[in-house]
Amino acid sequence: MKRTIEYLTILAFFLNACGAAATESEPGRRLAAGSSQDGTVIVFAAASLTDAFKEIGTAFEATNPGTSVTLNFAGSQTLRTQIEEGAPADVFASANSDQMDVLVADGMIAPGAPRTFLTNQLVVIVPPHNPAKVRSLLDLGRAGLKLDLAAPDVPVGAYARQAMEKMNEEFGDGFEARVLANVVSEEDNVKQVVTKVQLGEADAGIVYTSDAMAAPDVGRITIPEDLNVVAQYLIAPLSEAGNPALAVSFEEYVLSADGQATLAKWGFQPARQAPGT
């Protein structure tokens, strides 16, 4: 029931947003592919993209007068569910391939359409002043430590557990089990992990490097490359996008030099540097 209520609220918001945009231009009008660049593009993006995509959205509107970018941020798994349940969206930007693959399999995104547009890595964050004195990765397995993670079905939560498997091979002695025993909360998206740590409700959390950069008050403990996980983000227009021309234009802007520079500014690794791209 809770999920249904949340979805209806979101659906109503976006329907209102689309309706308002249509009234300002031509009532009820939807752009067809190849038409002029005006109208509203609705972008569903992983929560970790919040700061970067807000800036990209503003720049896209400035570059394309007459356009409006409506942004919806949440965990990638939540966004995928919203799209499956009929929430209007033109573009989906996911923090992993799993959620994108589901929409491709469902016919909601064309096969071959998803494109890798950035990568990210993990870092351990601690509250201001680090009251629990977390100094190294080994401290994550210390008895009594309060660790906050995203839930396993959230991309950053899955990546964190993959990194723990690597740490277990490195440190041995049941390290992974001890760390997981310290988890006191599992969040719906990475921003909630950051907030819990900032408030001191957890002694440590594992988030993306970009989210740590966006929260300068938290302390950071680096996870070495050989123990880290490279998160690959994908972007694609929806097959039934209400504004297909603008959806493609927004995707191209994200992949452009300007879009990639903004992503790099917020701590992401641009797609051109991603392994295998």
Domains of the chain: 2-119+233-272 (3.40.190.10), 122-227 (3.40.190.10)
Mean pLDDT of 215-239: 96
What whole-number distance in Å separates Cα of residue 240 and Cα of residue 244? 8
User: Over the stretch 231-259, which tens digit does the pLDDT of each residue have?
Assistant: 999 999 999 999 999 999 999 999 999 99
Q: Which band of pLDDT confidence, cut at 50, 70 and 90, is reported for residue 270?
A: confident
What whole-number distance in Å separates Cα of residue 252 and Cα of residue 87? 23
Could you tell me what percent of the chain has a pLDDT over 90? 83
Q: Which band of pLDDT confidence, cut at 50, 70 and 90, is reported for residue 100?
A: very high
User: Over the stretch 31-80, which tens digit does the pLDDT of each residue have?
Assistant: 333 334 579 999 999 999 999 999 999 999 999 999 999 999 999 999 99
pLDDT at 13 (0 to 100): 42
State the chain's mean pLDDT as an integer: 87
Q: Which of 158, 164, 69, 159 is nearest to 122 (CA)?
A: 159
Say if residue 30's pLDDT is above 60. Answer: no
Helix (H, G, I), strand (E, B) or coil at 207: strand
The CA-atom distances, in angstroms, between 229 and each of 185, 243, 264 are: 21, 35, 18
What whole-number distance in Å separates Cα of residue 261 and Cα of residue 268? 9
What whole-number distance in Å separates Cα of residue 72 and Cα of residue 237? 15
Say if residue 26's pLDDT is above 90. Answer: no
pLDDT at 271 (0 to 100): 72
Angle, in degrees to the nearest 10, between helices 76-84 and 97-105: 10
Cα distance between the two ends of the chain: 42
- Residue 106, C-beta contacts closer than 8 angstroms, at least 6 positions apart: 84
User: Over the stretch 181-203, which tens digit does the pLDDT of each residue have?
Assistant: 999 999 999 999 999 999 999 99
Say if residue 143's pLDDT is above 70. Answer: yes
